[in-house]
Amino acid sequence: MGLTAVVTSIVLGQSLKDPDGSLGPSWFRLPMMVLGAFVIDVVPRSLWRSRRRLTSFPSQAKAIIDEHWTRERIALVVIGLVSFYITYVSYRNLKNFLPRVNPTMHDIALDHIDKFLMFGSTPAVVLHAVLGQDVAAHVLATVYLLFLPVSPVSLIVYLVWSRNISWGYWYATAQCLAWMFGTISYYLLPTLGPNFAFPFRYRDLEPTQVTSLLQSLYNARMSVIHPGNSDAIQSVAGFASLHVGIILTLALIVQYTVRHVWLRRLMWVYFALTVVSTLYFGWHYISDDIAGAGIAWLSVWLGAKATGQKFDRHGRASHPTTSTARVPAHELEDDDLEEGDVTSTTPDSPLPSPSGPSAS
């Protein structure tokens, strides 16, 4: 991804940009998230172990750091963050270059597929009629925008708190693959998305933060297509839906690595609401969401193969083939594994969960 972004920028004569967010550029946000996770990991546990006696707090904090922040854990955090940073920044820049590389849009074709699947109607018309256009708009806007922090925060959680570090490698690998496959899909089948291609269908929706986001993305796209703002980044691309792809990737990893049923079910509810929100606001066509789901399944499977995960019960459960820092691990038979190495997410043999919010 990084090499592709660099080569494309040279060919087009455009410099690469580090996209800013509400908390600053990615190179600043990600380390700050890790620092926050470190503090949350060490400070509360140190206070608990020291029974709130400040004199023993330093020794307890050192003990926790020695136990959890091993060389292998630090390597995972560094590798995971650097990989995600390069992948994500490359994704944003390649998305920005899209109008100059492949300006042909295919919205009409995908809209026809939507109408065929909806028996002549469109997802927006049906969802607006069923859910309404005011309260549902605010609820689904919150669901949609929650994606922005969930993607990096969930990565930090798995890098910092996963009890078996191969899970952290699994999720980081799967998420990077999903961003890569999503970028490829943008170039194979460029689209704007229903809200940009057919905005009249969404004019009666209650104004929400999604409305503001749509307008800002439109303005940025116009600035890139008709140069006038060199700092603008074009971020409009419909096929495939990476909201669906990334959230399904997370839901699948949670399903395989977290033992708490309520958390797994919560992730599936969040995924379902994310799918609805993409169609409700016209970010994506049905085909986009299907493609995003396919990207997630492929990314999780390839990530599992790359990081030494073994699927059980026809893919309904999994276990890591190692509890050490060796990733990927050599394939071990069940008889060769030490006691406690093999677990699954099935009720009969619950998988140990990450020792943090992702499993609490």
Residue 322 has pLDDT above 90, yes or no: no
How far is residue 1's CA from residue 3's CA, in Å, rounded to a whole number?
6
- For residue 340, CA distances in Å to 208, 304, 336, 350 come to 49, 20, 12, 11
For the chain, the C-alpha Rg in angstroms (whole number) is 22
Phi and psi torsions of 131, nearest 5°: -95, -15
Q: What is the mean pLDDT of residues 309-328?
A: 65
Residues 41, 67: Cα–Cα separation, whole Å: 12
DSSP helix/strand/coil, 310: strand
Instruction: Answer for the pair 196, 234: CB distance below 8 angstroms, yes or no.
Output: no
User: Number of helices and strands (H, E) in the chain?
Assistant: 14, 4
Mean pLDDT score, 227-239: 76
Query: Where do the DSSP E strands lie in the chain?
Result: 20-21, 24-25, 309-312, 317-320
Share of the chain above pLDDT 70, in %: 83
Q: What's the mean pLDDT when you consider all of the chain?
A: 82
pLDDT tier at 45, thresholds 50, 70, 90: confident
> Residue 187, Cβ neighbours under 10 Å: how many?
15
Contact of 299 with 177, CB cutoff 8 Å? yes
**In which band, very low, low, confident or very high, does the pLDDT at 21 lie, cut at 50, 70 and 90?**
low
Which has more pLDDT, 263 or 322? 263
Average pLDDT over residues 196-203: 91
Per DSSP, 333 falls in state: -
Between the CA of residue 114 and those of 46, 133, 186, 214, what are the distances in Å?
55, 20, 19, 21
Higher pLDDT, 321 or 142: 142
CA–CA distance, 231 with 313 (Å, rounded to integer): 51
Does the pLDDT value for residue 113 go beyond 70? yes
CB within 8 Å of 275: residues ≥ 6 apart? 244, 289
Across 8-12, 100-104, 139-143, 331-335, least confident range = 331-335
Lowest mean pLDDT among 1-10, 36-45, 165-174, 216-225: 36-45
Evaluate the omega torsion of the peptide bond into residue 227 and state whether it is cis, within 30 degrees of 0.
no
**CA gap 360, 352 in Å, rounded:** 11
With a CB cutoff of 8 Å and minimum separation 6, the contacts of 48 are none
Structure tokens at 14: 């455009």
DSSP assigned state of 199: G
Global pTM?
Answer: 0.81
Q: Are 26 and 341 in contact (CB under 8 A)?
A: no
| Res. 265: pLDDT tops 90 | yes
* 302 Cβ neighbours under 8 A, 6+ residues apart: 173, 174, 177
